[in-house]
Amino acid sequence: MPGQVFTSRVTRGGGFMVSEAEHFRSRSEITVADGEVLLAGAVLGKITAGSASSAAKAGGNTGGGTITASPALENDAVAGVYHIVCIGGTFSVSRAAHAGNTGTGVMTLANPAFGAGVATGVWRVVCTTEAGGGGTFSIFSPDDEFVDEVAVGTPYDGDIKFTIADGTPDFVNGDSILVTVVDAVPSNGGVFSVTGPNGAILPNATEGVAYTDQIDFQIDDVGTDFVVGDAFLVTVVLDAAQYKEWNPTNDDGSEVVAGVLWDDVDATDGPVKGAAVTGSAQVNGGELVWFTGATSGNKVTGAAGLEALGIRVRTSVPA
């Protein structure tokens, strides 16, 4: 009941429970790691154990850069092959006047000739108002949507950047200049897409910057620059998950709260099967068992971790 207070230590299996989901859906079979001696109600973390190896794509890369894959995987690493593909990091811009133009004026690209939000593809810049010694051009994006207009002789500073100069003869309506934007790789750099084994699109990786989303690696430019399409494969093998006493200072995955141990377990002589409450339950905060030296702040953090799993802590944990 709301406001109910629990104080005594209950030592029987599941004695910390207030309620759980029907058909034992709150409980999971687990393996407690070697060396652990834990009491019912112990707050658990799950060890993320495994290895990661890396290789360049089949056929090799143009770029001479390397990848270092760390065996220290993140908690949400997925078994299988991660695809890490160079997608650029900058853009290359070129322009060409339409062969059928009447006007002989030219477009000069700015340096750089693109803005931060530029779309790749072919932009059309079309004369829509002709005038002696001048005129106005409309700008259309690669998906053929009208974007803006600019007068001859006036610098345009949008997603593409340029100035159109008048020539002799003048431009006439329909004259056009095509601006092509493609992905490119900056010298001594590059941006890489990262796709997980399950098809999940992860945040991009940047050359020279440590990457720590599911897998840990760093790509470094060496010798010949990367080109778009260069790629690395990182293969992750995960061991069967084991559980141990939760502690926020652990660095093997068990620093993240993963559940509450159902009954006493002694794994002194090797890993032992057990059961844990891992979701959809309510527990008595006064009956939870914490690692030696846990502070009140640690307990608040641990309780929040349980709440995130769907395990509601019905009473305040002791300080």
Compute the average pLDDT of residues 21-39: 90
**Distance from C-alpha of 50 to C-alpha of 165, rounded to nearest angstrom:** 62
CATH code assigned to 17-48+240-313: 2.40.300.10
Confidence of residue 319 (pLDDT cuts 50, 70, 90): low
The single-letter code of the amino acid at 24 is F
Residue 7 has a pLDDT of 41
pLDDT digits (tens, 9 = 90+) for 107-160: 999 999 999 889 999 999 999 999 999 999 999 999 999 999 999 999 999 999
pLDDT digits (tens, 9 = 90+) for 172-186: 999 999 999 999 999
Average pLDDT over all residues of the chain = 92
* C-alpha torsion angle, residues 65, 70, 71, 72 (rounded to 10): -160
Q: Is the pLDDT of residue 30 over 50?
A: yes
Q: Is the pLDDT of residue 11 over 50?
A: yes
Residue 237 has a pLDDT of 87
For the chain, domain boundaries: 17-48+240-313, 50-89+186-238, 90-184
Q: Is the pLDDT of residue 287 over 80?
A: yes
Residue 73 has a pLDDT of 80
Is the whole-model pTM more than 0.75? no
Q: Is the pLDDT of residue 10 over 60?
A: no
Supply the DSSP string of the chain, one letter for each residue.
Answer: -TT----SPP-STTTTEEEE-GGGTTEEEEEEPTT-EE-TTBEEEEE--EEEEEEEPTT--SS--EEEE-S---TT--SEEEEEEEEESEEEEEEEE-TT-S----EEEEEEEE-TTPPSEEEEEEEEEEETTEEEEEEE-TT--EEEEEETTS-EESSEEEEEPP-SSPP-TT-EEEEEEEEE--TT--EEEEE-TTSPEEEEEETTS-EEESEEEEEE--SSPP-TT-EEEEEEEEPPPEEEE--TT--SSTTSEEEEESS-EE-TTS-EEEEEE-SSEEE-GGG-B--TT--HHHHHHHHHHHHHTTEEE-SPPP-
pLDDT digits (tens, 9 = 90+) for 221-262: 999 999 999 999 999 988 777 999 999 999 888 999 999 999
DSSP bridge partners of 283: 17, 313
